[in-house]
Structure 1
Amino acid sequence: MSELNHALSTRQLSMIAIGGVIGAGLFVGSGKAIKTAGPGVLIAYVVAGAVVVLVMRMLAELAVASPDTGSFATYATRELGSWAGVTIGWLYAYQWCVIIGFEAITGAAITVKLVPALPSWLAALLFTSVLTAVNLVSVRSFGRFEFWFAMIKVCAIAAFIAIGATAILGLFPDHPAPGLDNLTGQGGFLPNGWGAVLTAMTVVFLSFFGTEMVTVAAGEAQHPEDAVRRSMRSVVWRILVFYLGSILVVVTLLPWNSAEVTASPYAAVLSGLGFPAVGVVMDLIVLTAVLSCLNSGVYASSRMLYSMAGRREAPPVFGRTNRRGVPVGAVLASSSMGFATVVANYFLPTETVFNFLIDSSGAVALIVYLWITATQIRGRLRVRREGGEAALSLRMWAFPALSLLVVVVLAAVVVAMLVNSSSRTSMLLTLLVTAFAVVAGVVQQARLKAAAAAAAAGG
């Protein structure tokens, strides 16, 4: 198996980690969660954010001790068996492949708004081709693009929070302070009850997906242990500032049941404050977030396939790199979903493709988080038995209590998705895909054991 190129700087990896939290789901998808739970969506973001922080702390414990491009899939193979690594590795790669297609048509839809004469399929083809080429050049090329994508997103969300805070304090010209009217009026803080908060949490969890990518990229970092430690420790303030801070601004300045909230909550806030051409500005910012996600999707999926190939859990072609350390076969396989989406988008309406991709991606993020949790619990118990716990330079807080609490919360969200009619189909499809992946993992593990036994007998 060929080696990757360790060319990502700590600065690039840190910005990738920060930008990974800010996706199109924050700028646009948050409107759906607000519409579902009202101001009480803040509770959903607090709980989901806390769970993600805990999951990332568990993953950091594993990654700092043993940085690897396969990240949690590698650790799952080590702690739970090859079947587990196969299952979560393919699910993760699949999720990112779907996201690539989803982001391609989303970016195309935004571009068509800005340039109506451009066919949406052509815009999707252009975005997918360019960012696939970026990933084929070198990991350094990916890192540079993602650094600037992340920089734009971070500056945009920071500016939004600063403007919003000024308006909330009543310091914005011609706009008196709103007080708590939008938080407590229009049906109260929980206008649709606690059940709506749990339902909104399913949307919120999906928007956090991508935070874990820094541990995948660590395998190509110049100083992986230090980079992972710094990046994962900053997860808490990133979630507090970017998510809770911006959502608090939205629900404080806008009525939760306003039609503009569902369409584009951030644009609605800025428009209400009198900013000119806010629609175009937000479209450009969201387009940046979309392209960043597409770029990250090609990278994350290809590196997971590369790592699995090294463990004989994926075809060997995915483990071969060119002279620049790029796993070309894995990159092309990952981006294929984007190109397939372009073809589908040429023959079918955008909405049809969009809905299919959303349903097929389902709630894989929840399964990934559950897998990370199970792996960390098993790994920590093994290290404890071996007497090496004291040597861990970064540990999960209050183990095993908080790790088990995460399992309970994630399981409750899965049940909530199955009970809720609007998310039941998506969850069932996810569980079906997971079942197929588990079966494939069990079969592959049996084959590897048989091959090992035959080799031992032959030797």
Structure 2
Amino acid sequence: MTVPPPSTDTGGLRRALTGRQLSMMGLGGAIGTGLFLGSALAISQAGPATIVAYALCALVAFVIAWALAEMVVVHPEAGSFGAIAQRYLGPLAGFVQRWTYWTIQVIAIGGEIVAAGLYVRFWWPQLPLWLLVVVFSVLVLGANTLAVRFFGTVEYWFAMIKVIAIVVFVGLGLVLITVGLPRSPATGLANLTSHGGFLPNGMEGLLLAMVFVLFSYIGTEIVAVTAAESERPERDIPRAARRMVLRLVLFYVLAIAIVLAVVPWTVTAHSGTVDTSPFVRVFQSAGIPAAAGITNFVVLTAALSSANTNLYLTTRMLHSLASDRYAPAWTGRLNRTGVPRNALAMSALGLGLAATLSATAADSAYLALFGISIFGALVVWILILVTHSAFRRGSADPSPVRLWGAPVTSGLALFLFAVMVSTAFIDGLDTAWIAALPFFAVLIIAHVVITRRRAR
């Protein structure tokens, strides 16, 4: 297959995002409910060994982020990895990847908004979840109507709140573990080996935990999606990707280690439910109710920040599809400030889904949205690695950014495929297969129909 030359086509989008904003947007997209809320589900499977799961999945995230940086530096165009997949794997791959990514992020936005509602009910449990979902939906839609430079500034400070909070949490947790607090003696590290040992559910529990932990790292690809609106993509994209992954590893591994050291994993897991964040439980166990309330506010802003960033992602991906005539032309139109508002309106479908589920199935809404999102995200990551392998073979211009160990590292696609298959055997996530198989069948049929129509 002949590969088209490198392109810098932005599809009309404006290059207004700085390197500083890119780094914080990457953290903002990744640090959300996967860490603050979904970590309880991982801990219920692996216990203290969840620390190992976060460390291993960090390696996967690093490979994905660096592979994307290598490709996007050569092709800093609208559509990011979806457009690059179309170059190197063909139109069907680009079509499926972009629509899959758009769909799962739309659903993930709903999951983040539902989580935000659950956090508010920490203070006011009598409030209906659907009402909170509607209020927060209006908030993130408003933020995304701003010009991209102003949006980048809003998200920068949104993300800064949770970064500072995690740093404070880690510092306070280390004090609680080593010397204790006025009302709480030092916990030490006994909780990491008590209650069944470090690996209470064996290797099977560790592997199952990795399914939930991988979800915490979904969002690292945002740096690549911003390439078309980056001021200097050849410099800022690799730098932002490197900083983002390193910070995520530090924050995730340290934060989870402190959670598991301070509170017995059997308490934190809470039978795998998602009523209360394990981070809030740390401060409840330390006897600091005010700090628990503050932490709950922080994780609330984290969920909103993640939803805000992911709504940005879906809007740009749909704009890319419209540019290639794979989505209705009206979704690709920009307003006078360079924002694809029609694509934004269509990407708000996940917010409507979240409101509906929170009204009809409040107890299971988060897990249902979670399962579908993780399945689709794994498909996208696998296609990214396959695209990177084809990029290495077919690119005429070698990238100045090179992924270490490639193409051996592309073998992670097989591991991700195994994880995806394992979701069929996890209660609550198995329903994703029921939705996924018909979804991909519809995508393939839609591509055939569109291709034939365009040919005529």
Question: What secondary structure does 2:422 align onto?
Answer: helix
Residue identity opposite 2:39 in structure 1: S
Change (3 A) 1:47 1:445: farther
**Equivalent in 256, 269, 279 of residue 282 of structure 2:** 269
Checking the alignment, whether the CA contact within 8 Å between 1:2 and 1:321 is kept in structure 2 is: no
Checking the alignment, whether the CA contact within 8 Å between 1:70 and 1:307 is kept in structure 2 is: yes
Alignment of 1:403 with 2:415, yes or no, is no
TM-score of the aligned structures, taking structure 1 as reference length: 0.90
Runs of 5+ unmatched residues, structure 1: 452-459
Checking the alignment, whether the CA contact within 8 Å between 2:50 and 2:206 is kept in structure 1 is: yes
Q: CA offsets per residue over residues 51-76 of structure 1, 9 Å max, x none? A: 11111111111111221231110111
Alignment of 1:139 with 2:129, yes or no, is no
**Equivalent in 199, 223, 241 of residue 208 of structure 2:** 199
Checking the alignment, whether the CA contact within 8 Å between 2:283 and 2:292 is kept in structure 1 is: no
| Distance in 2 of aligned mates of 1:115 and 1:144 | 31
Percentage of identical aligned residues: 37
**Shift in Å, 1:258:** 1.6
Residue identity opposite 1:393 in structure 2: P
| Distance in 1 of aligned mates of 2:226 and 2:445 | 28
**Shift in Å, 1:282:** 2.5
Change (3 A) 1:441 1:48: farther
Name the structure 2 match of 1:244. Answer: 253
Name the structure 2 match of 1:280. Answer: 293
RMSD of aligned Cα (Å):
2.3
Alignment of 1:433 with 2:446, yes or no, is no
Residue identity opposite 2:421 in structure 1: V
Residue identity opposite 2:194 in structure 1: G
Name the structure 1 match of 2:302. Answer: 289
Name the structure 2 match of 1:96. Answer: 105
Checking the alignment, whether the CA contact within 8 Å between 2:314 and 2:347 is kept in structure 1 is: yes
Within 5 Å, which residues of 2 pair with 1:68-147? 68-115=77-124, 119-147=128-156
The 10-residue stretch of structure 1 (16-25 or 120-129) with the greater mean CA deviation from structure 2: 120-129
| Distance in 2 of aligned mates of 1:105 and 1:232 | 28
Question: What secondary structure does 1:313 align onto?
Answer: coil
Checking the alignment, whether the CA contact within 8 Å between 2:220 and 2:245 is kept in structure 1 is: no
Checking the alignment, whether the CA contact within 8 Å between 1:44 and 1:200 is kept in structure 2 is: yes
Question: What secondary structure does 1:258 align onto?
Answer: helix
**Shift in Å, 1:132:** 1.2
Change (3 A) 1:136 1:259: closer
Residue identity opposite 2:28 in structure 1: G
Which structure has greater helix proportion? 1
Checking the alignment, whether the CA contact within 8 Å between 1:100 and 1:297 is kept in structure 2 is: yes
| Distance in 1 of aligned mates of 2:254 and 2:409 | 25
**Shift in Å, 1:120:** 3.5
| Distance in 2 of aligned mates of 1:86 and 1:195 | 35
Alignment of 1:367 with 2:379, yes or no, is yes
| Distance in 2 of aligned mates of 1:340 and 1:250 | 32
Residue identity opposite 1:381 in structure 2: R
**Shift in Å, 1:110:** 2.9
**Shift in Å, 1:296:** 1.3
| Distance in 2 of aligned mates of 1:198 and 1:343 | 33
**Shift in Å, 1:277:** 2.2
Q: Give the total of aligned pairs.
A: 443
**Shift in Å, 1:32:** 1.3
Change (3 A) 1:146 1:435: same
**Shift in Å, 1:359:** 4.3
**Equivalent in 149, 155, 160 of residue 169 of structure 2:** 160
Change (3 A) 1:353 1:198: closer
Q: CA offsets per residue over residues 253-305 of structure 1, 9 Å max, x none? A: 22111257654221122222232323322321121012112211221101000
Q: CA offsets per residue over residues 329-384 of structure 1, 9 Å max, x none? A: 101100133135435545x242354454344435111111101000000111112x
Question: What secondary structure does 1:86 align onto?
Answer: helix
Change (3 A) 1:172 1:356: closer
Runs of 5+ unmatched residues, structure 2: 1-9
TM-score of the aligned structures, taking structure 2 as reference length: 0.90
